[in-house]
Amino acid sequence: MIDAAPDGAYDAWLDSIEDDAPYYLECENGHGWLPPRRICPECRSRDLTEEPLPDSGEVTTHTTITVPTPQFEDDAPYVTAVVDFGPVSITGIVRGIDPEDVAIGTVVGLEVGERVTTGDRAVVFRPR
Amino acid sequence: MSNPRVAGAGVTKFGKHPERTGRDLFAEAGLEALDQSGVDPDDVDALFYGNFMGELAEHQGHQGPLMAEAIGLDVPATRFEAACASAGATVRAAVKDLRNGEADVIVVGGAERMTNIGTAAATDALAIAADDLYEVRAGMTFPGAYALMARSYFEAYGGSREDLAHIAVKNHEHALVNDHAQIQKEITVEDALEAPTIASPLGLYDSCPITDGAAAAVLTSEAYAEDHGLDAPVAVSGTGQGGDNLALQDRDHFAQTPAADKAAREAYADAGVSAADVDVAEVHDCFTIAEVLAIESLGLYERGEGITAATDGETSRHGDLPVNLSGGLKAKGHPVGATGVAQLATIAWVLDGSHPRADAVEDGRVGVCHNAGGTVASTTVHVLEVAE
Ligand SMILES: [Zn+2]
């Protein structure tokens, strides 16, 4: 990994999760996205505002990864899932539940955790 | 509209060649294509070259001119990068230039060197075709992404790991006589189901191997082929390309590949054919589920019905619509930047009767190539037809 400056709007978004005030970006037509975005790719609106992200979401799809990249070597096996929060979906790692028990529809909340392998911040979901 | 001809094609043996440089691999394929084409190398106008992970695998950027040099050409040479669809993008660019009179002869192709860096680093390099901030940092791997799509597909339409296993079994059987193929070994459904899991629900046999290799083709304008009396009976009659959000999380659903839908519609319209006219297809089966998504996007199957095509034998070499007679990426191998042109070579050889599995499609007239990048955020589709 390249040791470099923080990734601006993305790191600020992780900060917002840690501060218990996570947000997403919404255009005037109600399309939701995650930062950084300057334009809604759906309707080309440039009027994007920060809106509070719902407290919990539902697992849309998930996989237990046993062959990871080197940055996740010591994390494996782990569950990567896409979670539908309504206005946006977010990809992250599911913790606090046996991988076998993760299912489509499982309700989870959002937090920031650490990657075991590198100590870097990671989006983590936990059952609610 | 005039349709460019495939004058020659060359493909290296796909497999593990950790000691062979990208330039050596591409030189073998490119020279074979030039030799086979009967084209005077002085007539070549450009090289369009596909490669995905050259910086990571070989510490080599700017590969276009390097590869032109490697096959003895002093022409403008540009690298195309569209993840696993890089070579498909070279074909599309060449078809446009040949049609509009910008060029008479273009060499297309690509190469990838992957096994020299080992499985972990190759997994890492492949993963960066996904969204770094929102997918790679959430532990997503390339197999992981397709696993997410497979689970969504099962949820939306049904199907089972056993259906996926039948796809792997079929493609392995097809590859048995393809000497370019990385894996020439028959497997059973049980072998596939019992193999270790990589990313549930996908196992080792749902996945293409990590591959070194290169492919090249010489494409000429129709007029050039006629003026020079080339033996080039197969034409590229349709080209299409589609795009999608890079990250899966930003798409409406994960059990369809709209970029491929768009590419297929465009390519069929361009060629003036429909899915019903297709006799044979080479599709991007980097994972077994990808073949299902591909044949549905190509309109060869209705949504939700592609999953049982292999189980029912319809897409085998004995079936009505053979898919991946080469063995597909699954058994032939997937040197990422070369794949799209290796598919083109296969279809050209099947249609001109020179492919070892050509007897599966006797009197075949129309073939289609589907080359997908990443989780299908890029796709090219090309229609090939027997022109004479
Ligand atoms: Zn919008």
Q: Quote the pLDDT of residue B91.
A: 98
User: Do B47 and B33 meet the contact criterion of CB atoms below 8 Å apart?
Assistant: no
Position A1 pLDDT exceeds 80: no
Provide the pLDDT confidence category of residue B295 given band limits of 50, 70 and 90. very high
Distance B145 CA to ligand 1 centre (A): 26
- Total residues belonging to chain B: 388
- Enumerate residues 6+ apart whose C-beta is below 8 A from B332: B14, B171, B175, B178, B180, B181, B182, B183, B324, B326, B342
Instruction: Return the half-sphere exposure (C-beta side, CA atoms, 13 A cut-off) of residue B350.
Output: 33
Rounded Cα–Cα distance for residues B363 and B386 (Å)? 10
Q: What is the pLDDT of residues B139-148, one digit of tens each?
A: 999 999 999 9
Q: Quote the pLDDT of residue B16.
A: 97
Q: What is the pLDDT of residues B78-102, one digit of tens each?
A: 999 999 999 999 999 999 999 999 9
Rounded to a whole number, what is the distance in Å from the CA of A77 to chain B's nearest CA?
9
Position A2 pLDDT exceeds 60: no
Backbone angles phi, psi at B353, to 5 degrees: 85, 5
Element (H, E) at B350: helix B339-351
Position A97 pLDDT exceeds 90: yes
Distance B136 CA to ligand 1 centre (A): 25
Position A4 pLDDT exceeds 90: no
Which has the closest alpha carbon to B285: B238, B331, B350? B331
Sign of the C-alpha dihedral, residues B316, B319, B325, B329?
Answer: negative
Provide the pLDDT confidence category of residue A5 given band limits of 50, 70 and 90. confident
Which has the closest alpha carbon to B347: B2, B3, B11? B11
User: Do B41 and B73 meet the contact criterion of CB atoms below 8 Å apart?
Assistant: yes
Burial B129-168 (b: 16+ CB within 10 A, else e): bbbebbbbbbbbbbbbbbbbbbbbbbeebebebebbbbbb
Nearest CA in chain A to B251: A89
Provide the pLDDT confidence category of residue B22 given band limits of 50, 70 and 90. very high
- The model carries a pTM of 0.97
Position A65 pLDDT exceeds 60: yes
Backbone angles phi, psi at B330, to 5 degrees: -55, -45
Contact residues, A window 24-63, toward B, CB-based 8 Å cutoff: 33-34, 41, 60-63
Interface pTM, i.e. ipTM: 0.96
Angle at A100 between CA A99 and CA A106, to 5 degrees: 75
Any A CB within 8 A of B248 CB: yes
Position B359 pLDDT exceeds 60: yes
Position A120 pLDDT exceeds 90: yes
- Enumerate residues 6+ apart whose C-beta is below 8 A from A63: A79, A80, A81, B144, B147, B148, B151, B199, B200, B201, B202
Any B CB within 8 A of A90 CB: yes
Provide the pLDDT confidence category of residue A110 given band limits of 50, 70 and 90. very high
CB within 8 Å: B148 and A75: no
Provide the pLDDT confidence category of residue A3 given band limits of 50, 70 and 90. low
Give the mean pLDDT of chain B.
Answer: 97
CB within 8 Å: A80 and B248: no
Q: What is the arithmetic mean of pLDDT over A10-35?
A: 97
Q: Quote the pLDDT of residue B4.
A: 98
Provide the pLDDT confidence category of residue B388 given band limits of 50, 70 and 90. confident
Position B122 pLDDT exceeds 70: yes
Rounded to a whole number, what is the distance in Å from the CA of B56 to chain A's nearest CA?
12
Rounded Cα–Cα distance for residues A28 and B266 (Å)? 32
Indicate the DSSP class of residue A87.
S
Nearest CA in chain B to A41: B245
Q: What is the pLDDT of residues B230-269, one digit of tens each?
A: 999 999 999 999 999 999 999 999 999 999 999 999 999 9
Q: What is the pLDDT of residues B45-55, one digit of tens each?
A: 999 999 999 99
Sign of the C-alpha dihedral, residues B244, B249, B252, B257?
Answer: positive
What residues does B6 pair with on adjacent strands? B219
Q: Ligand 1 (ion): which residues have CB within 5 A?
A: A 27, 29, 31, 40, 42-43, 45
Rounded Cα–Cα distance for residues B374 and B206 (Å)? 16
Give the mean pLDDT of chain A.
Answer: 96
Contact residues, B window 134-163, toward A, CB-based 8 Å cutoff: 134-141, 143-144, 147-149, 151-152, 155
- Total residues belonging to chain A: 128
Distance A105 CA to ligand 1 centre (A): 26
Q: Closest partner residue to A61 among B119, B121, B254, by Cβ?
A: B254
